Structure 1
Amino acid sequence: MSEVALGPPRPKRVQGGSATADVVLSAHGGGNAELFPQILALHVPEGAVVADVTYGQGVFWQRVPPGRYRLLASDLATGTDCRALPHADGAIDALVLDPPYMEGLLRPKAGTRGGQGSHAGLRTYYAAGGGGEAPGGGRWHQAVLDLYLDAGREARRVLRDHGILIVKCQDEVSANRQELTHVQIVTGLAELGFYARDLFVLVRPNRPGVARLLRQVHARKNHSYFLVFQKVPSGQPVSRYRTRDLPPRAPGLADGG
């Protein structure tokens, strides 16, 4: 039997990285201002042009270090509708969307309209689409979904390829029907060409109160979601897309103005 010449032994594979428990988790207890900077740090590179198109009182940004991103803040109070943005095609690196996410916030009649607390301002701006009818012409929960998806279409226009879309939402019960809003948004945005890159669950620290409860039918919602999407370039199937870093800006690319 002839001998087979063997080459030098292959070096052992060495795993990179280090053991740590200091990682960003998918579920958090607390408020938006605590979680939002962690989402940005994980998914949006420093120096990125970020359009927050439902800025409101700027709660999300309270703990984001100034100057880390180029922030373009707008909402209906500043004359900008998230469904008709003034930015050029492909000019934005990341976009933040947090419209009113309960159907009670969009009811055209003030007497039946909800929205106390942190969403009172956005309720005022977006109630009945600002012009006597619900966004997209839908009613009840459909008006909420129409608003998200119409804004998603506009986000796709202004985001550059592989750009990041951060969406805040909450499930709800509307007209005695369980509406899993976060699932509907993920499905709807996939059809528009967005890959669902990440999901965060935010649990409120206090127990919600209920007035005039006769009989509980559904679990009371005490959590909301931050959904992180990535714009899939045209012609590529969302089903085959994989998470990737946002590529460097091409020379001469518009900067979000």
Structure 2
Amino acid sequence: MAEVTRMWISPDDVVLDATYGQGRMWRGAGREPDIRHDLALDDVDLRALPEDDGSVDVVVLDPPYRPHFGGTSTRMHERYVLHHVKSIEDVLSLYRQGIHEAARVLRPGGRLLVKCQDMTLSNRLHLVHVDILGMLDSDGLDLADMFVLLNRDRIPGRGLQRRARRAHSYLLIASIVRA
């Protein structure tokens, strides 16, 4: 995040992180967001931000991007009350609505940073980052940069492996093109 901050966030930018969580993304970044929202922090949903239209320079979205399939709840889904996110379509809907809301609050020339991860569900590979590119375009945002983030802590699973492991995620940087 330090490199992303250096390249894409100016010191005088108003930065809103709509999915701040515990602030892990910002560790070592050299700055913190000016505005922090999170369902568990202040009960603000990334799909309904309280900021005015065109009021911020940078919006960061890093929503939980794995469906919840019932059974034993994960801490993340408990924390974010995301029991409704049960399919890839639900995940994509969360991104679509969050991106649309981010585009609303961004100033002309503003930037959106979106973290996502491709996944395999029900024996089907879902290229989530490709879906998000279409969402960005439909909300008047152009892809400006893309970082591949490696998860060095991820340990490969045991047993028969049928597909490549997704030990990486993407950070897409888009800029608003509307005047």
TM above 0.5, yes or no, is yes
Please name the residue that 1:127 is paired with: 82
**Partners in 2 of 1:233 and 1:177 — Cα distance?**
36
Identify the match of residue 106 of structure 2 among 151, 154, 159.
159
Higher gyration radius (CA): 1
Cα-to-partner distance string for 1:44-94 (whole Å, 9 max, x where unaligned): 11121100010000011222334xx66101110111000000000000100
Instruction: State whether structure 2 residue 46 is matched by structure 1 residue 82.
Output: yes
- Moved beyond 3 Å, runs of 4+: 120-123
Please name the residue that 1:208 is paired with: 155
Please name the residue that 1:47 is paired with: 12
Matched residue SS, 1:184: helix
Cα-to-partner distance string for 1:169-198 (whole Å, 9 max, x where unaligned): 110001111001111111221112110000
Please name the residue that 2:35 is paired with: 72
Identify the match of residue 98 of structure 1 among 56, 59, 62.
62
**Partners in 2 of 1:140 and 1:62 — Cα distance?**
31
Distance 1:230 1:59, change over 3 A: same
Please name the residue that 1:146 is paired with: 93
**Partners in 1 of 2:13 and 2:78 — Cα distance?**
29
Q: 1:232 deviation in Å?
A: 1.3
Cα-to-partner distance string for 1:231-255 (whole Å, 9 max, x where unaligned): 1106xxxxxxxxxxxxxxxxxxxxx
Please name the residue that 1:27 is paired with: none
Distance 1:53 1:122, change over 3 A: farther
Distance 1:218 1:155, change over 3 A: same
Matched residue SS, 1:230: strand
Distance 1:172 1:163, change over 3 A: same
Instruction: State whether structure 2 residue 178 is matched by structure 1 residue 223.
Output: no
Please, which runs of 5 or more residues in structure 1 have no aligned partner?
1-35, 235-257
Distance 1:101 1:49, change over 3 A: same
The alignment-based identity, stated in percent, is 38
TM-score by length of 2: 0.91
Please name the residue that 1:56 is paired with: 21
Please, which runs of 5 or more residues in structure 2 have no aligned partner?
none
Confirm or deny: 8 A CA contact 1:53 1:74 kept in the other structure: yes
Matched residue SS, 1:217: coil
Write the letter of the residue equivalent to 1:46: P
Distance 1:207 1:83, change over 3 A: closer
Confirm or deny: 8 A CA contact 1:99 1:122 kept in the other structure: no
Cα-to-partner distance string for 1:190-235 (whole Å, 9 max, x where unaligned): 1121100000001122452325x3x32211111111100101106x
Confirm or deny: 8 A CA contact 2:64 2:76 kept in the other structure: no
Equivalent residues, number? 178
**Partners in 2 of 1:50 and 1:121 — Cα distance?**
24
Write the letter of the residue equivalent to 1:124: R
Confirm or deny: 8 A CA contact 1:51 1:95 kept in the other structure: yes
**Partners in 2 of 1:80 and 1:199 — Cα distance?**
27
CA RMSD of aligned residues (A): 1.8
Please name the residue that 1:38 is paired with: 3
Distance 1:122 1:93, change over 3 A: farther
Distance 1:45 1:204, change over 3 A: same
Matched residue SS, 1:220: coil
